[in-house]
Amino acid sequence: MKLILDGNVNVYYIQTLCMIFFPGEKFGAAEQEAPDAPMLSLRLRARNGGMEAAVTVTANGKSASATRFLEDSEHHTGEKTAKLVCGLAVIAACGQLLGYRPSWGMLTGVRPSKVATELLRQGLSKTRVKKILASEYSVIPKKAALATDVAINEQKIIGNPGRRDCSLYISIPFCPTRCSYCSFVSYTSRKLLDLIPDYLERLMTDVRQMAAKIRELGLRLCTVYIGGGTPTILTPDQLRRLLSTIAECVDVGALEEYTLESGRADTITAEKFAVAREYGVNRVCVNAQSLSDEVLQNIGRCHTAADFFRAFAVARASGIPYINTDLIVGLPGDHFHIFAKSFDQVVALRPENLTVHTFCVKKAADILRQDSHVYSLRGGDAGKCVDYTQLRAAQEGYRPYYMYRQKNTVGNFENVGFALEGAECRYNVYMMEEVHSIFAAGAGAVSKMVDYTPRGGGKPVIERLFYPKYPYEYLKDDSTGQKTAVMEAFYRQHGLLD
């Protein structure tokens, strides 16, 4: 795509905006010269206490233009006003040309609820925040309302984060087989699954070391999250070994929440959940994704809807109080009426948490090669499905409490976590909002050291520490001692222990 920019404009920002309408376009020298490439010209000027942007966009022999003016205000001046007004003009011109209004307007690469939170923190009312998201960020009104509701619910959960609060993440990147849509790192072949016993030994050593550092620094461990892959791939004995190790080094009774992600129905048994309950796990995930056997088969999920219902009943019977169920909108072969039925069937089971993802076409996923048409600008009827989940969830007493967006999702829609009142997954919010440190153990695990309220003021400070992505590499890694030393140094440097 060809860009002609006039004024003090950040070229990368304009490219990002163009990608909303022209996904996959490139902006190199060859495209600048290509006579039939889409073209966008933008002129930015300061005028009367604000900024004005004029945009003309041309593609396939047609053109559209738009000019927008935005006054500086108490919540944006200078550079920010310029960014917003460029966004407004690009969205208006491209929208006119292509007859498409992106639900999230110019919001890319930033969590919409984060923008809403920042505005709420400036003391603006809920109504005003929704209006600003709509008028200054071009977010459509129902999404502006969703982002604002999520921001308010998140803040209720976060409250005033303690400087010594933290959480622990434990990674089990193994699954019985690979689902065709998934690009998470997870080992599935027999040979690699044979690594599990060695992996567990190493993992338990790291968990002990991390937990020791948390105790030594006098931190308050709020939540533990065992995620995957599919953690219930472990046998009941392996699970007992892992959970008993955790129980030895963590005061499980003092946790706000303890999640075993579980996931796929074909790995869930009453015996495993009995072990989980015995060791204090209070939240599990039993994921449907879809309840159409045909769709489940399309995505290589290796279980049926009946298997999901059985696994859900096992979870309920175990007495573990919080169950989460994941669904995905926009899966290959899914349609509104099939999805709505899946959603209603899940809601009828009253899981405490309900997480609705939008299908994300990741490059590595096999599905891209099999079914490359699934990703479209408007997302087919995925938008209708997303709306349905938000409307029905509200009718059924579920509130949206966390939300994020990913690149390359069908129709550019969002992922939303819903919960019954008081049953929100706190780890998800802490992790997403980066309000306290996450100590992480296992392959692919990323620890985040967080100083949420730096002493001198300013934005939160975050330092990340990475374990190798793959279990094979993780088994050879010996960085845990070094990591815990860096963690301690972070706490001391930032005065978090004073």
Question: Contact positions toward ligand SF4, by CB under 6 A?
Answer: 175, 178-179, 182, 184, 186, 228-230, 263-264
- Nearest CB to ligand SAM, comparing residues 176 and 280: 176
Q: In whole angstroms, how close is the CB of 450 to ligand SF4 at the nearest point?
A: 26
Question: Any contact of residue 417 with ligand SAM (CB under 6 A)?
Answer: no
- Nearest CB to ligand SAM, comparing residues 287 and 447: 287
- Please identify, among the stretches 68-76, 260-268, 340-348, 416-424, the one whose residues bind ligand SAM according to the rule CB under 6 A: 260-268
206 touches, from ligand SF4, ligand SAM, none (C-beta below 5 to 8 Å by class): none
Question: Any contact of residue 375 with ligand SAM (CB under 6 A)?
Answer: no
In the bound state, the residue with its beta carbon closest to ligand SAM is 263
Question: Any contact of residue 351 with ligand SAM (CB under 6 A)?
Answer: no
178 touches, from ligand SAM, ligand SF4, none (C-beta below 5 to 8 Å by class): ligand SF4
Q: In whole angstroms, how close is the CB of 85 to ligand SF4 at the nearest point?
A: 41
Secondary structure (H, E, C), the chain: CEEEEECCCCHHHHHHHHHHHCCCCCCCHHHHHCCCCCEEEEEEEEECCEEEEEEEEEECCEEEEEEEEEECECCECHHHHHHHHHHHHHHHHHHHHHCCCCCCCCCCCCCHHHHHHHHHHCCCCHHHHHHHHHHHHCCCHHHHHHHHHHHHHHHHHHCCCCCCEEEEEEEECECCCCCCCCCCCCECCHHHHCCHHHHHHHHHHHHHHHHHHHHHCCCEEEEEEEEECCHHHCCHHHHHHHHHHHHHHCCHHHCCEEEEEEECHHHCCHHHHHHHHHCCCCEEEECCECCCHHHHHHCCCCCCHHHHHHHHHHHHHHCCCEEEEEEEECCCCCCHHHHHHHHHHHHHCCCCEEEEEECECCCCCHHHHHCHHHCCCCCCCHHHHHHHHHHHHHHCCEEEEEEEECCCEHHHCEEEEEEECCCCCHHHHHHHHCCCEEEEECCCCEEEEEECCCCCCCCCEEEEEECCCCHHHHHHCCCHHHHHHHHHHHHHHCCCCC
360 touches, from ligand SF4, ligand SAM, none (C-beta below 5 to 8 Å by class): ligand SAM
Q: In whole angstroms, how close is the CB of 325 to ligand SAM at the nearest point?
A: 9
Question: Any contact of residue 328 with ligand SAM (CB under 6 A)?
Answer: yes
Among 187, 339, 359, 467, binds ligand SAM (CB under 6 A): 359
Question: Any contact of residue 288 with ligand SAM (CB under 6 A)?
Answer: no
For residues 297 to 326, the per-residue mask of contacts with ligand SAM, x marking binding by CB under 6 A and - elsewhere, is -----------------------------x
Question: Any contact of residue 181 with ligand SAM (CB under 6 A)?
Answer: yes
Q: What residues make contact with ligand SAM under the rule CB under 6 A?
A: 175, 181-182, 184, 228-230, 261, 263-264, 287, 289, 326, 328, 357, 359-360, 362, 365
